[in-house]
Amino acid sequence: MGGRRPGLLGEESGRRRRRLDRRQVVSAALDLLDEVGLEGLTTRRLAERLGVRSPSLYWHVRDKEELLDLLADRIMSEVPVPAPDLPWRERLERLLTAGRRTLLAHRDAARILAGRPPRGPHWLEVGNAAVGALVDAGLPDRDAVDGVSLVVSYLMGFALEEAESAYGGGDYSEFLATLPPERFPRLTVMAGILSRPDADRQFGYGVRFLLDGLERLAAR
Amino acid sequence: MGGRRPGLLGEESGRRRRRLDRRQVVSAALDLLDEVGLEGLTTRRLAERLGVRSPSLYWHVRDKEELLDLLADRIMSEVPVPAPDLPWRERLERLLTAGRRTLLAHRDAARILAGRPPRGPHWLEVGNAAVGALVDAGLPDRDAVDGVSLVVSYLMGFALEEAESAYGGGDYSEFLATLPPERFPRLTVMAGILSRPDADRQFGYGVRFLLDGLERLAAR
DNA sequence: ACCTGAACACCGTTCAAGT
DNA sequence: ACCTGAACACCGTTCAAGT
């Protein structure tokens, strides 16, 4: 499969094209991730999709770990940094909802991001904006740092769970309903309340809760 | 290496011992995890440590995924469920601090737990207790569910980041200090505030923030 | 400078066969 | 019922060699 037609008009269009650079490698990795998920994202498959043998990748990237670092930051680049003249609460809210959207837009994105220290430039840009929002809110530096840590932990945890249950299969509430009520009385009661399309509302609840709390702190 | 001394006194003490059962497999997996981390936890090494060839494991466990499910719940079994006669806030606080402690007690535990729907009995026990605390606080069912989701997302996100930076290496604040201040003005200011032993305080801040907010909701 | 061929040291899993 | 041997279809990575 994948018949080569050498030099028809320069190069074949689309994928496989010679003279790679890092950007292309990362883009192809992101495409592959979306198609096959993190477990399917192997250096060999990535090379194949780039029309190259797998050892070639190591010219562009130190190892798979670095590839994933680059991929993580590429994903973060899709989170828009809100204009600094917006009110701080609006800025933070936008960062959170955009963060969630981006984390869900790419398969296993949350798993890739959550397991990695935020060293990429785009992550830093977002972190900078988040801290800036809380400083502008009037929080002392230390509280601003703690507040961002709080909010980021929540975002990551939420996106991770949402992605896993959106994909990992099945209604969780259905599962809960099968539990023995005498052992898990609270959970079986909850089974009815819980359903998947609830994720939006649940996230909204969390965001409002957090922003309300931060606003209260800022008011003092 | 690992010379066999067949039938000296029954069986060799310690590891490698015939007649496996699931419990032993999971225990050995946990030990191995702590020694070599998630990437090092392979079916082949696990088998070796059990004195058995790797295909034997498949008699006790469907596949590696199921092994990780079992491992996740084994880890959760280390979180004590607080006595129901304690005040709700104390119960929730204990669950959170014990949760964090357990997630840090085993290498890569947060990564294993966070990526997995909470289906194991011990997870359910803990979830049941958490929902129970908020119901006892006086929150309506739906708010109790949302509150638990909030608090669990935070715990997972926090533990994930803490584990990664505790192990993944290096002071993050040191890294921040190297950033160009004109691009990330907020972050370079923060670099001084941030340091590793801060994690305790930071987690405490988050827990207090969350519990205060929930208490306020309950008071209405 | 960038890519390939061949190889190394691994993986998870299946399956027929042993006891 | 439980375990082994052998095999399959993969992995990530190195390294000498090609252009």
Which pLDDT tens digit goes with each residue over A11-64? 333 444 568 999 999 999 999 999 999 999 999 999 999 999 999 999 999 999
The reported pLDDT for the residue numbered A169 is 61
Please tell me the distance from the alpha carbon of residue B125 to that of residue B80, in angstroms, as a whole number: 10
User: Looking up tokens 């690992």, which residue turns up?
Assistant: B2
Taking alpha carbons only, the member of B45, B36, B1 closest to residue B106 is: B36
The reported pLDDT for the residue numbered B194 is 77
Note whether B115 contacts A111, CB cutoff 8 Å: yes
- pLDDT, chain B, mean: 90
The reported pLDDT for the residue numbered A170 is 66
Q: What is the mean pLDDT of residues B134-139?
A: 98
pLDDT band at A132 (very low <50, low <70, confident <90, very high): very high
Q: How many CB contacts within 8 angstroms connect chain A with chain B?
A: 155
Pick B200 or A6 by higher pLDDT: B200
pLDDT band at B172 (very low <50, low <70, confident <90, very high): confident
CA of B121 to C1' of C8 (A): 43
Note whether B160 contacts A114, CB cutoff 8 Å: yes
Q: Chain A within 8 Å of B6 (Cβ-Cβ)?
A: no
Pick A13 or B66 by higher pLDDT: B66
Which residue's C-alpha is at the least distance from the C1' of C11? B42
Residue A166 has pLDDT above 90, yes or no: no
pLDDT band at A8 (very low <50, low <70, confident <90, very high): very low
The reported pLDDT for the residue numbered B8 is 31
Confidence (pTM): 0.92
Q: Chain A within 8 Å of B38 (Cβ-Cβ)?
A: no
Q: What is the mean pLDDT of residues A148-163?
A: 96
Pick B11 or A46 by higher pLDDT: A46
CA of A14 to C1' of D10 (A): 27
Determine whether the distance from the CB of A50 to the nearest atom of strand C is below 7 Å.
no
Please tell me the distance from the alpha carbon of residue B59 to that of residue B44, in angstroms, as a whole number: 14
Please tell me the distance from the alpha carbon of residue B115 to that of residue B106, in angstroms, as a whole number: 15
Residue A176 in contact with residue B180, Cβ under 8 Å? no
Please tell me the distance from the alpha carbon of residue B76 to that of residue B81, in angstroms, as a whole number: 10
Determine whether the distance from the CB of A55 to the nearest atom of strand C is below 7 Å.
yes
Q: What is the mean pLDDT of residues B10-17?
A: 41
Q: What share of chain B is helix, strand, coil (3-state, %, to 5)?
A: 65, 0, 35
Q: Chain A within 8 Å of B172 (Cβ-Cβ)?
A: yes
CA distance B214 to chain A (A): 9
CA distance A131 to chain B (A): 6
